[in-house]
């Protein structure tokens, strides 16, 4: 079984890319982030034609997450974990999978702008709330994958310039500590279960020829629960869509389960 996550950075713009990629990649489940569209505009017909059931949690202009699956999505929940924040950033559902039901979630973490700002404080609150939500979700679903754009580069290897960027957003000790707290719940970073090439990133700035120079970050992640981690057979990044015309600034990440 193959699952993936991809921040498409506007589904309205990138729908042809998504259709092309789905035609080339035999994924069973796909988590999407940064839809930048309302649920009323979500392209259910086009995705149904591609063979997918879909559930979305949309928002005009910003945010927005979705789950696509070859089989029906059950028990869909649109979650706002942080009190006072109704941003469309988290959706979860159950799918049928070898070995039993699988709980999957698509998350678009708060960016945080910069340490010392109000938006960074909002990110810390949101991460606290997400931790509590995930803890409860794991109590109900042993087989769980949390996939998405975390806006956190948890290790030095996840940044092209870890020393120079050490105190900038996505790199701070506070953000890395929050990532570690999620792992401490019994989650595994699927990508780091395997030896990976140096310079493996999922995001590159549109500016300064960052992709051509491979000046990127690995801020998109797939976390597998303790019960599911032994079934992870591979986790890879597909850089090809980042080479297409008018691409998302993120590349898809894929995980294969036995």
Residue 239's contacts (CB-CB under 8 Å, 6 or more residues apart) are: 251
Answer whether 194's CB lies under 8 Å from 253's CB.
no
* Options 39, 75, 85, 108, the catalytic residue: 108
State the helix-helix crossing angle for 173-184 and 118-140, rounded to 10 degrees. 10
pLDDT band at 228 (very low <50, low <70, confident <90, very high): very high
149 a catalytic residue: yes
The CATH number covering residue 220 comes to: 3.60.10.10
Tell me: the pLDDT tens digits for 89-103?
999 999 999 989 999
Q: List the domain range (segments joined by +) for residue 10.
A: 2-257
**In this structure, what token pair is assigned to residue 69?**
């699956």
Alpha helix stretches (DSSP H) within 141-231: 173-184
Tell me: the pLDDT tens digits for 101-118?
999 999 999 999 999 999
2-7 and 90-95: which strand pairing? unpaired
* Options 45, 96, 132, 149, the catalytic residue: 149
201 a catalytic residue: no
DSSP 145-202: EEEEE-----SGGGBSSTTTTTTSTTTSHHHHHHHHHHHHTTEEEGGGGS---TT--S
Q: Nearest Cα to 148, choosing from 231, 213, 218, 47?
A: 218
| Number of domains the chain is built from | 1
Tell me: the pLDDT tens digits for 197-215?
999 999 999 999 999 999 9
Q: Nearest Cα to 201, choosing from 234, 162, 246?
A: 162
Tell me: the pLDDT tens digits for 117-176?
999 999 999 999 999 999 999 999 999 999 999 999 999 999 999 999 999 999 999 999
pLDDT at 108: 98
Tell me: the pLDDT tens digits for 29-66?
999 999 999 999 999 999 999 999 999 999 998 999 99
Answer whether 58's CB lies under 8 Å from 39's CB.
yes
CA 43/CA 33 separation, integer angstroms: 14
pLDDT at 27: 98
pLDDT band at 226 (very low <50, low <70, confident <90, very high): very high
CA torsion angle 93 94 96 100 (round to 10): 150
């Amino acid at each position: 079984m193959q699952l993936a996550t991809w921040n498409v950075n506007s589904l309205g713009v990138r729908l042809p890319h998504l259709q092309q990629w789905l035609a080339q990649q035999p994924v069973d489940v796909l988590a999407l982030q940064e839809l930048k569209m309302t649920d009323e505009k979500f392209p259910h017909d086009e995705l149904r034609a591609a063979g997918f059931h879909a559930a979305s949690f949309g928002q005009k202009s910003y945010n927005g997450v979705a789950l696509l699956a070859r089989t029906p999505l059950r028990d869909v929940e649109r979650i706002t974990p942080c009190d006072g924040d109704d941003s469309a950033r988290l959706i979860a559902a159950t799918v049928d999978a070898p070995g039993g039901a699988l709980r999957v979630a698509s998350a678009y973490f708060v960016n945080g702008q910069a340490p010392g700002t109000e938006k960074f404080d909002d990110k810390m609150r949101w991460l606290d709330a997400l931790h509590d939500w995930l803890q409860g979700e794991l109590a109900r679903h042993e087989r769980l994958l949390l996939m998405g754009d975390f806006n956190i580069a948890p290790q030095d290897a996840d940044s092209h310039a870890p020393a120079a960027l050490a105190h900038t957003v996505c790199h701070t000790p506070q953000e890395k500590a929050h990532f570690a707290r999620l792992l401490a719940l019994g989650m595994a970073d699927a990508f780091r279960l395997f030896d990976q090439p140096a310079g493996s990133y999922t995001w590159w700035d549109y500016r300064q020829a960052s992709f051509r120079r491979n000046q990127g970050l690995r801020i998109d992640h797939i976390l597998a629960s303790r019960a599911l981690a032994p079934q992870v057979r591979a986790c890879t990044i597909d850089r090809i869509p980042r080479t297409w015309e008018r691409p998302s600034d993120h590349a898809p990440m894929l995980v294969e389960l036995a």
